[in-house]
Amino acid sequence: MIDLRDPLAVLAQRLPWGQIEEALAPKFKRKERAGQCIEGQDWWGPTQQLVGAGVSRAGRPKLPVRLMASLLYLKHSFNLSDEEVCSRWSENVLWQFFSGMDYYEHRLPCDPTQIGRFRRALGEEGLEQLLKATIETAVNIQAVQPKDLERVIVDTTVQEKAIAHPVDSRLLEIARHKVVSAAKRVGISLKQTYAKEGKALRRRAGGYAHAKQFRRLKRVIKRQRTILGVVIREVQRKRALLDEGLMAPKAWGELSMWLERAERVRTQQTKDKNKLYALHAPEVECIGKGKARKPYEFGVKNSLVVSHEHGLMLGARTFSGNPYDGHILSASLEQATNLTQDLQVQIKEVVVDLGFRGVDEDNPGKLIIHRGKLKSLCPQQKAWLRRRQAIEPAIGHLKSDHRLDRCWLKGAIGDALHAISCAAGYNLRWLLRAVARLGIGPIFLRLLQALLCLTKPPLASYSTYSTR
């Protein structure tokens, strides 16, 4: 049903699936339970019985690790959502062969929500194993040589979060709505929720901002702050009269969380640091990269490590707090070193931009090359420096083709998992192009060709047969 010379069919046999399953299987191993000792009484006196100990076999069987890992690969390689990748998997014979299926089955591989749970269970360490497998496969098929990975390019970009553009009027109205809803779930009845006035103020603020009537906009925002403060103080007074022990822990914790975030939104000013830009994503930061078309981006800083010669992704890591680029260079190189340590590769030259100046002492044993050292560089090093901008199209492809442009995963851990997954998907597409370029075929077909060459009859017999 499929062409075994297709690059994806070739990679289905070339990727180290056995190593991937061996590395990820411990994360899904059923845990031992200590059990509970129950005391009783019988004819001969008190007794003790251990209940619930051992390994539980409850629940439905787990899905194969290779199937779930392949879905993550395909999702970020072809820029699909969880629902789309499951739907296309059920229709694509080649994708099912890549996932280790023996027969074509017209069904969904799993519920789309299971992909997210599988990703969270893997964590950063597990997803790094998927990225590491692509790097080792590139070396095994001889698309790159290990010595080609000793020189890398490092750069940073912003991985934006899936939030609306933060404006004060919208944040204040959402904070009011969240506090009121959380208070109702706890059982607090408010004297006034200001729902109708809050909606009208939000509409007026949008109109004034569009018309650039900033004095009127300022008065509307001031009123929104006043309303939010009234609601917060009333909820705090009535919450103090309640018994926390009688409340549902989840609802009580959510009320405390929304009160704290609403107070941050109410009191923060334009020039403040550590501002809250999204109530559902407090980890979002405002990062300016000096772009004329987009002065500010809201997300997290992401560092990328790419091989200098071939553009293979060797590392992807997020850093909270918007640190200086040079201060995160050692951590980025540490991740790339860990992913290539089985290949006996040691990174020696690092080509960077001027944002990484002054960090030579923090990275001993590595030659850091940037434009600030232009007069002291030899002609070969200057040639390496001219190729530094090769990482820019790689970043562009990561964002446009592999979902790095917008992160929909929750929390700071979601940002980290998303960055590594995008890098793994980028490398898989890189491998597909390399297989097509090098003309690599399936392993067993190449063995069959070699066997036919060994058993080929002498040339004289062919000439005798042709004369007849």
Longest Cα separation, the chain: 108
The helix or strand, by DSSP H or E, that contains position 331, with its residue range, turns out to be: helix 329-339
Q: How far apart are CA 443 and CA 450, in angstroms?
A: 11
Number of Cβ within a 10 Å radius of residue 82? 19
Determine the pLDDT at residue 465.
Answer: 31
As a whole number, mean pLDDT of residues 137-150 equals 95
As a whole number, mean pLDDT of residues 45-57 equals 74
Number of Cβ within a 10 Å radius of residue 272? 10
Q: What are the pLDDT digits (tens) for 250-276?
A: 999 999 999 999 999 999 998 898 899
Angle between helices 82-91 and 65-77 (to 10 degrees): 110
Q: Is 318 left (phi over 0), alpha (psi -120 to 50) or beta?
A: beta
Strands 349-351 and 367-369: parallel
Query: And the tokens for 260?
Result: 């704290």
The helix or strand, by DSSP H or E, that contains position 22, with its residue range, turns out to be: helix 17-24
Q: How far apart are CA 431 and CA 12, in angstroms?
A: 11
Is it the case that residue 351 has pLDDT exceeding 80? Answer: yes
Q: Could you tell me how far CA 433 lies from the centroid of its own chain?
A: 23
Q: What are the pLDDT digits (tens) for 153-188?
A: 999 999 999 999 999 999 999 999 999 999 999 999
Is it the case that residue 100 has pLDDT exceeding 60? Answer: yes
What does the DSSP assignment read for 421-434?
HHHHHHHHHHHHHH
As a whole number, mean pLDDT of residues 344-349 equals 93
Is it the case that residue 24 has pLDDT exceeding 60? Answer: yes
Determine the pLDDT at residue 136.
Answer: 96
Determine the pLDDT at residue 60.
Answer: 73
Choose the weakest-confidence range: 116-125, 161-170, 447-456.
Answer: 447-456
* Model confidence band, residue 448 (pLDDT cutoffs 50, 70, 90): low
Q: Is 217 left (phi over 0), alpha (psi -120 to 50) or beta?
A: alpha
Mean pLDDT, the chain, rounded, equals 91
Determine the pLDDT at residue 143.
Answer: 94
Cα separations (Å) of 361 from 45, 303, 364, 369?
A: 73, 20, 6, 14
Domain extent listing, the chain: 126-163+285-425, 168-267
* Model confidence band, residue 458 (pLDDT cutoffs 50, 70, 90): very low
Determine the pLDDT at residue 460.
Answer: 40
Determine the pLDDT at residue 445.
Answer: 57
Determine the pLDDT at residue 452.
Answer: 59
Q: How far apart are CA 260 and CA 264, in angstroms?
A: 6
The helix or strand, by DSSP H or E, that contains position 50, with its residue range, turns out to be: strand 45-51
Q: What is the total residue count of the chain?
A: 468
As a whole number, mean pLDDT of residues 192-201 equals 96
Determine the pLDDT at residue 245.
Answer: 84
Provide the 3-class DSSP secondary structure of residue 276: coil
The helix or strand, by DSSP H or E, that contains position 51, with its residue range, turns out to be: strand 45-51
Q: What are the pLDDT digits (tens) for 274-307?
A: 899 999 999 999 999 888 889 999 999 999 999 9
Count CA atoms closer than 13 A to 446's CA, side-chain side.
9
Determine the pLDDT at residue 442.
Answer: 73
* Model confidence band, residue 346 (pLDDT cutoffs 50, 70, 90): very high
Determine the pLDDT at residue 44.
Answer: 73
Cα separations (Å) of 131 from 69, 170, 302, 452?
A: 11, 39, 16, 37
pTM of the complete model:
0.87
Angle between helices 65-77 and 17-24 (to 10 degrees): 110
